[in-house]
Amino acid sequence: MTIHLLDIDHVGIAVEDLEGSVERYRTLLGIEPVHRERVEDQGVDEVLFAVGSSFIQLLGAIGPDSSVGRSLATRGPGLHHVAYRVRDVAAALEDLSAQGAGLVDRVPRQGSRDTLIAFVHPRSMGGVLVELVQPG
Q: Which residues bind a copy of itself (CB under 8 A)?
A: 1, 3-8, 11, 13, 15-16, 21, 24, 27-31, 51-54, 56, 75-82, 84-85, 96, 99, 101, 122, 124-128
Instruction: Answer yes or no: are the C-beta atoms of 132 and 118 closer than 8 Å.
Output: yes
Q: In terms of C-beta distances under 8 Å and separation of at least 24 residues, what long-range contacts does 119-123 make, across chains too?
A: 119/81, 120/96
For residue 114, the minimal CB distance to a copy of itself (Å) is 20
Instruction: Kindly tell me the burial class for residue 81, based on how many C-beta atoms sit within 10 Å of its own C-beta (0-12, 13-18, 19 or more).
Output: buried
Residue nearer to a copy of itself on the CB measure, 33 or 122:
122
For residue 2, the minimal CB distance to a copy of itself (Å) is 8
Residue nearer to a copy of itself on the CB measure, 63 or 126:
126
For residue 101, the minimal CB distance to a copy of itself (Å) is 6
Residue nearer to a copy of itself on the CB measure, 42 or 84:
84
For residue 31, the minimal CB distance to a copy of itself (Å) is 6
**Residue 66 to residue 84: CA distance in whole angstroms:** 22
Helices (H) and strands (E) in the chain, counts: 3, 8
